[in-house]
Structure 1
Amino acid sequence: MYTSKLLYYTLLQEDDAFNRLLDHLESMPTEHFETELEDHAFASIRSHLVHLLLSGSRIMYMLGDREEPQHDIAELRGILEFRSAWNAWKRRASGWLMGKSEKELDHFENFTWPSGRETRMPHGTMFMRMLFHIAHHKGQIAAQCRLLGFPPPNTEILWIMPDSGSSSTPADTSQPAPQSEEE
């Protein structure tokens, strides 16, 4: 199902997008990095980055990589520290991945989450799930940047309306959000 090359190229794509987001965060006023917004599971950009790196390290551990993170992630404060921790995590993930055969990536295993919940899936699926989790939090961070008045470039959402061919942004309430054909 998965090959190490496919997952590696997906990791490289996430790395590129994540580094562009970190570049944007470096251009923002530093006080916004720790600004807490109401009604968010992770109230600040910093708390999102901490969660992202901690969960990535935890999943690598669950996948059998017993290397300890090189940084005390919970204590990271600046963008440069987060970039360094991200690069160390990426090297760790790349090293683990490039040593895996297709058979190993397709091997099913029971994984136990910190909550105690268990799930059974192939190693490749767990790795891809981790990459999706990273993408999710990049989107959350981009949304927080937008709320703070510093939207990252190229993050506008464009809705293509299936019936009329017209388009609108979500802020344009004159057009309804697209509905799936099942509804």
Structure 2
Amino acid sequence: MHTPDSLIDLHVRCHRSLAKLFRHCRKLDNELARRELDGFGFPDLHAQLFHIVDVEDWWMGGVSLMSRGGSKAEDFADIRALDEWRKEVAQRTQSYLERASRKELNEKHVLRCGGEKGPKLVPAFVLMHVVTHAYHHKGQASAMCRLLGHPAPETDLPMKGRSHR
């Protein structure tokens, strides 16, 4: 059974890692960040980073009923704007985890996204999906940075401290 503290810790560490990647990517100009690369489901770095945040917003917003919802990649002029949104979404998720009980986090609840009633899911498992999804696409973004001539720093799961800033 997952505890609020263990899930908060996992989420915070994930966002510390994402923050490091976003800081690196903010150094790239917009043209480079939007250059399409073959072999990726999301063809450019901006779209890849948008997708990471959008998925957390959608899934965790569906669990917590706190999603901004309806965002599009073009709503964010550059990676700096995406990073600010990432921080907002991370804070909404953290706020939910801080107020949710252990029982709530480990029992099935109806997911609600975009006003629609969805499947019954366990919030702790939804968060696990969000984290593993972020790491998958973080790897894709790191590979893109390498192909663009700007290799990303090490962004593995941080083992020290707790802060998503």
Give the TM-score taking structure 1 as reference length: 0.73
Q: CA deviation at 1:66?
A: 3.4
* Structure 1 residues without counterparts, runs of 5 or longer: 157-183
Q: 1:18-57, aligned counterparts within 5 Å?
A: 18-57=18-57
Instruction: Summarize deviations over 1:81-136 as a string: whole Å, max 9, x none.
Output: 1111011101100111111111111102355899xxx7654211111111111111
Note the 1:5-154 alignment, pairs <5 A: 5-68=5-68, 74-109=74-109, 111=111, 121-154=121-154
> 1:90–1:155: structure 2 CA closer, same or farther, 3 Å change rule?
closer
3-state secondary structure, aligned to 2:109: strand
Which whole-Å CA distance do the structure 2 matches of 1:56 and 1:127 have between them? 8
**Mapped partners of 1:155, 1:127: distance in 2:** 19
- 8 A Cα contact 1:3 1:102, kept in partner: yes
RMSD between aligned residues: 2.6
* Larger Rg computed on CA atoms: 1
Q: Secondary structure at the match of 1:31?
A: helix
1:7 positional shift: 0.8
What is the aligned-residue identity percentage?
23
CA contact under 8 A between 1:106 and 1:124: conserved in structure 2?
Answer: yes
Greater percentage in helix: 2
CA distance in 2, matches of 1:99, 1:80: 29
Compare relative contact order (CA 8 Å, sep 6+) and give the higher one, 1 or 2: 2
Tell whether the 8 Å contact from 1:33 to 1:45 is kept in structure 2 after alignment.
yes
Q: Distance in 2 between matches of 1:70 and 1:42?
A: 18
User: Aligned letter for 2:18?
Assistant: F
Note if contact 1:57-1:69 (Cα within 8 Å) is conserved in structure 2. yes
- Matched to 2:154, the amino acid is N
Distance in 2 (CA, whole Å) between partners of 1:100 and 1:43 is 37
Could you say which residue in structure 2 is the equivalent of 1:174?
A: none
Task: Give 1:33's aligned amino acid.
Answer: A
Which residue is 1:162 aligned to?
none
Q: 1:105 to 1:44 in 2, by over 3 A?
A: same
SS at 1:38 equivalent: coil
Where does structure 2 lack aligned partners over 5 or more consecutive residues?
157-165
TM-score, normalisation: structure 2: 0.81
Given that 2:58 and 2:67 are in contact with CA atoms closer than 8 Å, whether structure 1 keeps it comes out as: no
Distance 1:112 1:136 in 2: 25
Q: Secondary structure at the match of 1:87?
A: helix
